[in-house]
Amino acid sequence: MIGAGSAIFLFLSRKPPIKEKPQVIAPLVKVVVVHQQDIPVIIQGYGTVKPKNQIQLIPQVSGIILATHTHFVSGGFFRAGDLLIQIDPTDYKLALQKAQAIVAGTRVILDLEKAKAEVARKEWAILTPNIEPPPLVAREPQIKQARAELRAAQAGLMAAKLNLERTSLSLPFDGCIVEKKVDAGQYVMAGQSVGTVYGTKAMEVPIPLENKKLAWFNIPASATVKTNYAGEQLAFTGQVVRTGGKIDPATRLVSVVIEVISPFQQGIADKASLVPGMFVEASIQGKILHQVIPIPRYAVHQKNQVWIIQEDRLLVREVKIIRYDQDYAYVAAGLKDKDLIITSSLDAVTEGMKIRYVRGSE
C-alpha cells in the first residue's frame, strides 16, 4: 500500500513537458551583385560561305585547245591575267592578214577616187570658170562610198584583231577553278562553257535572322565569322554590306550578307582559308545598350520578375527587359546598380520572406 501511494504521489506531482516552438530555418540562396553598364549588342547567326563572284568560263571563238594553264584543274588557283586556255590562233592570224589587205585595198580605192576628183575639178574649171562643179562631176558620191568601204574594212580589221586576242583566254581577277570541262587537244565552240571559276578577292556569307534582330544593328556593320577546319579554329573579319532583299516564305527569316575581303590572306599561313561551302558562326557588332543591367536569363521569373534581397528579405521586382541573348537578359528599368538578385530556384516565394544567402560569381 505504501509503494502504491508513493507511485500515485509521484505521478500527480510530475511537471508537464515544456513545449518548444520549432525553429524555422530561412532558405539559403545564391545571389549576385548587378551593375549598370553600357553593353554592345552582339547578334549571333549561322550561314554557309559562297563566292561573291562565280562565273562560267566561256570562249568567244572556236578552235582546238593547244594548251591550258598548269593550275587549270579543280581546286587550282590563278592570278589575274594568267593564260588559262590557248586556242589555236592560226585561222585567226590568216583572217587578220586578210583584213589588213582589205583595208589597204580600200585605202587605195579612196586615194584613186580623190585623184580622179581633183582631175575632174581642174577640167571643169577650164571649161566653166567661176562655177562650182556639181557633185557627180566632183565624184563626191564615189569618194563617200570609198570612205564607207574603208571604215567597214577597218572595222573588219579590228574584229580580226579582237578574235585573235580572244584565242588567249584569261580573266581580270585572281580566282580558283571549281570545275574543269575541257583539256588540250579538244575542239571547243564559241559560247561553250569550258569551266567554272570563282574570284578569291571576296567571299559572302548570307546569315538568316529574325526580322526583329535587324533593329539592333546598322548597315554597314562589323562582323566576325568563325569555323573549324583541319583541326584549326579560324576567324575572319568582315562587314555586313546588305540584306538579302526578301523574306524567306518558308522560314519568315531575312538574310543579311556578310562580305569578307581577302579571305585567303586571312587564312593561317596558306593552310586554311574561307572557302565556299564552309558552315560558319557569325557575330555581328550591333548598337550600344546604354546603362542597362545584365542578369542571367534563369534569374527572370514570370517573364518580367526578378527576386532581390534587401535586409535579408526577399522582394519581388517587376523589371523592363529590352533584350535577351543566349545567356543574359538586359534590364532597362526596375533594378538599381549593386542590387542583390537571387539566382537560385525556390519552390515557394512570399514577398518579404526571410532569406539566407551566399554570393556567387558575378
Specify the pairing of strand 28-33 against strand 356-359. parallel
Q: Residue 175 corresponds to which cell in the numbers above?
A: 580566282
**Per-residue confidence (pLDDT) for residue 269, from 0 to 100:** 42
CA 330 to chain centre: 28
Residue 357 in 3-state DSSP?
Answer: strand
Whether the Cβ atoms of residue 229 and residue 267 lie closer than 8 Å to each other: no
Q: How far apart are the C-alpha atoms of 360 and 70, rounded to whole Å?
A: 63
Q: How far apart are the C-alpha atoms of 188 and 185, rounded to whole Å?
A: 9
**Per-residue confidence (pLDDT) for residue 268, from 0 to 100:** 43
Q: How far apart are the C-alpha atoms of 360 and 342, rounded to whole Å?
A: 10
Burial of 81 (0-12, 13-18, 19+ CB in 10 A): exposed
- DSSP for 284-330, please give it: EEEEEEEEEEEEEGGGEETTTEEEEEETTEEEEEE-EEEEE-SSEEE
What does DSSP assign to residue 192? -
Q: Position of cell 575581303?
A: 261
Of 1.10.3720.10, 1.20.1740.10, 3.40.50.720, 2.40.420.20, the CATH number of 28-39+290-359 is: 2.40.420.20
Domain boundaries, the chain: 28-39+290-359, 44-52+200-288, 58-86+167-199, 89-166
What does DSSP assign to residue 128? S
Q: Report the top-level CATH class of 58-86+167-199.
A: mainly beta
Q: Phi and psi at residue 336, in whole multiples of 5°?
A: -120, 160
Burial of 21 (0-12, 13-18, 19+ CB in 10 A): exposed
Map 28-93 to HEC letters. EEEEEECCCEEEEEEEEEEEECEECCEEEECCCCCEEEEEECCCCCCCCEECCCCCCEEECCHHHH
Q: Which helix (H) or strand (E) holds 157?
A: helix 140-165
Report the candidate in 220, 204, 346 with the shortest Cα–Cα distance to residue 280.
204
Tell me the pTM.
0.74
Whether the Cβ atoms of residue 45 and residue 207 lie closer than 8 Å to each other: yes
pLDDT in tens, the chain (362 residues): 555 555 555 555 666 666 666 666 888 889 999 999 999 999 999 999 999 999 999 999 999 999 999 999 998 999 999 999 999 999 999 999 999 999 999 999 999 988 988 888 888 888 888 888 888 877 888 889 989 999 999 999 999 999 999 999 999 999 999 999 999 999 999 999 999 999 999 999 999 999 889 988 999 999 999 998 878 888 999 999 999 888 889 999 999 999 999 888 654 444 568 889 999 999 999 999 999 999 999 999 998 999 999 988 999 999 999 998 888 999 999 999 999 999 998 888 888 999 888 987 65
**Per-residue confidence (pLDDT) for residue 138, from 0 to 100:** 78
**Per-residue confidence (pLDDT) for residue 361, from 0 to 100:** 66
Mark 236-261 as b/e (b = at least 16 C-beta within 10 Å).
bebbbbebeeeeeeeeeebbbbbbbe
Task: State the Cα angle at 259 between 256 and 263, rounded to 5°.
Answer: 145
Name the CATH topology of 44-52+200-288.
Elongation Factor Tu (Ef-tu); domain 3 (2.40.30)
**Per-residue confidence (pLDDT) for residue 91, from 0 to 100:** 95
